[in-house]
Amino acid sequence: MRARCEQHTGESKRRSTMRRELKLDNLDDTVAECRRLLETGYLRNGNWSLAQICNHIRLTIEANMQGYPMWMTALGLPMRPLLRHFALPRLLAGNSIQGVRTASMFVPSANLDDAAELVELENCVREFQQSTRPLHAHPGFGRMSREEFNQFHAAHAAHHLSFLSPRVTLDSIDRCAASALSDGEAQK
């Protein structure tokens, strides 16, 4: 998992939002980042809370394990070659396409508890990791190996979690400064 202490501004059609640069390599990194945000507290720079993001990611992983609705696969199938060639590499590189509407079945309700939804996500990730059943093809991106789906779900989570910024404390500023200093010393 890689996160930078700095933040950058991402432009959207509706408004300018503060997003942090965040790269999560796998679902273990995703759970660790969610746990960190729960422990430190966070600033919400987008539409969803930590609970809503955990819920959304869990629902998409469950669909990957249990199957997507036929209508979703039927809509995605004709676009799959383009999506797999252009959109998937962008998502995996941390440059997700913004402004894509979320299917209503994956939109979380507003009144969710951060801690409870994190536990649900942790349980789902554990089931995903321990399962030997074949995974269902993604409606837009098609079939992938379990490891590729692990990376896909982590990149998807990183996109959403980048809209949450950990609350800054003096300790975290000191750690960030020390890290920058040690990086500078290592380059000498």
Per-residue model confidence as pLDDT tens digits over 51-84: 999 999 999 999 999 999 999 999 999 999 999 9
Q: Which residue has the higher pLDDT, 63 or 188?
A: 63
CA angle 109, 131, 74 (to 5 degrees): 60
Q: Would the pLDDT of 184 be above 90?
A: no
Q: Quick one: pLDDT at residue 186? A: 56
Q: Quick one: pLDDT at residue 103? A: 87
Using only C-alpha atoms, the chain has a radius of gyration, in whole angstroms, of 17
Q: Would the pLDDT of 27 be above 90?
A: yes
Q: How confident is the model at residue 181 (pLDDT cuts 50, 70, 90)?
A: low
Q: Would the pLDDT of 7 be above 50?
A: no
Q: Would the pLDDT of 49 be above 50?
A: yes
Q: Quick one: pLDDT at residue 96? A: 81
* Phi, psi (rounded to 5 degrees) for 67: 115, 145
Q: Which helix (H) or strand (E) holds 106?
A: none
Q: CA 79, CA 156: separation in Å to the nearest integer?
A: 19
Helix axes 146-161, 114-130, angle to 10 degrees: 160
Q: pLDDT digit string (tens) for 88-120?
A: 999 999 888 777 888 889 999 999 999 999 999
Tell me if 139 sits within 8 A of 75, measured CB to CB.
yes
Percent of the chain beyond pLDDT 70?
A: 80
Which stretches of 36-163 are assigned E, i.e. beta strand?
42-44
Q: How confident is the model at residue 12 (pLDDT cuts 50, 70, 90)?
A: very low
Residues 6+ apart with CB under 8 A from 7: 18, 19, 20, 21, 165
